[in-house]
Structure 1
Amino acid sequence: EITHTRHPAGRLAVPPSLVAALQRGLTSPGGEVVLQNGDQVARIFLARGWVAWVVTQGVPYKLGDVLESRAGIERKQLRPLLEECRNTGTNFGECLLSKGLVEREVLRGALLRHIAHHFLGLLRFADGALVTFKERPRPYGSELLFDVDELIGEAAMLAGSVPAPPPTDTLAPAAERIPGCRALFLVDVLQSHVRAAWPEPIMHPSTSLELGRAITDLVRGPLAERLVEALGTLVREDMWIHDMLLVSDDDVCVLARSEMRPSRVLCVVVRGGKSLGMVLSRARELAQELA
């Protein structure tokens, strides 16, 4: 039975349809819980009553980022190992352990943090999603599996550890650093919402919700995936949109993504006639500071 379905502060609710699908899957030999809401898709892979993996389309958190920050493994070390695992069918986690690159508990913590980020990502579109379980038992050559309550608990901890949004008096001096700035919005694309806005109040809550979703779709949605697919072997599959400029004769809109926290995007609206390079440079600086 799944017991930890809500964060203590009430901010992490797991929809009943997802709970039911997970409970069905956890009592089976294994398979996939699939969530689909429009063009948004997520999969939870289950094996022998445990969670093996979670992948959510468009979530900016990459396994390489987590392994580098928590286990100290550089990306240049990971790439040949990934290729080796693809060719041999070896479990990636077990490969890292066999090479002596990381201790088991450190690796387990990094993997748990990674799939918890993806679990949080799927919750943003889980309400109203089509949720199904497909029984597809498959051998997992690894004991790096997770209890579902452990996963939900980690995701709840992540949700509860999100810092408060910057107050308006923080955004106001930031706006002064961009000549002609008309508005600033700090958006969390993992949760699809505007965390802070200047000037405040600037829009109706429903409009704010739509803005959060629109920016999320731009930087995390199918646009980047279609581009990567079109470029084929010229690029890596894990590319994502970092910055974006939308330009008209009268206005410029810049989306700048934080390097340190990729789920945070700063949206800057500026009157036209300004240097695009200057606006983009300032937006990038502020994205790092405000994230």
Structure 2
Amino acid sequence: MVYHTTHEHGIPISYFYVNPLLSIPNLKLTMSNYLKTFTITNNCSFTVWAAAIPGGGQQLNQGQTWFINASSGTMGRIWARTGCKFNEYGQGSCQTGDCNGQLKCQTYGSPPNTLAEYTLSQNNYSDFFDMSLVEGFNVPMQFSSISNLCTRDISCVSDIIGQCPIALQAPGGCNNPCEVFKTDQYCCTSSNSSCEPTKLSGFFKNRCPDAYSYPKHDQTSTFTCPAGTNYTVVFCPEPILTKTIASSMTECLRNSTITIPLAKITVVAPASRVATSSFMFLCQNNNNLC
């Protein structure tokens, strides 16, 4: 057995070899232990181009699913790309998450992109998984398992893009401050750096507490599952029933309802244009959004 451990975003990364012909007490080495399935589903109302290292890439229209397999000892990541155009040879570009212009990714994606990260069958034969915003945010995500023995499922479904600080805004996403400022304060590049959370990293953590928000985040955002577990990754895991409107005008029909947290306002006057400011609202008329 060869064994070596390092860390990335708090995940133990181990490389080891075990001869499957050896008899190890209390450990069943079957083929199910060696090959795990990741079920990747696009629940967004728009097309995404799913990517995985290892795994490659696949266009997913709304409701479509892609399956990839990974063996024990694999360290990988899964993300969504948006705003992509590819030719018949699988070459092109994406607005977010682009991997050197290839449909079938061989390299990590470019920020901003929401990441699902995993390391399979490591210490004590457990899997480690996390969600990371260290490279920014582009699509809401849920990372879950089929086992009830896991720590728990994790997700990031907040309106990060709509609330993104001006300094971090990017086409199609919200950058992490390291990508923007490239300083030790945000990137934790110095070996002597204590690398504490910042106000900008706190923006991500407050909205997605399950996820890593800066490079040397503590391991409270790393979760575990028994070895042999299969996983699911869902982009846009729950429908967005609210709209963020900033200083805009919205037309509501007669007798329609605007729902504001802790309050409901019913418009009984003839149809008119209602001014709104920066708040979340849902305008319904016969179950249709207006």
Higher helix share: 1
What's the TM-score once normalised by structure 2's chain length? 0.28
Judging by fraction of residues, say which structure has more strand. 2
TM-score scaled to structure 1, two decimals? Answer: 0.28
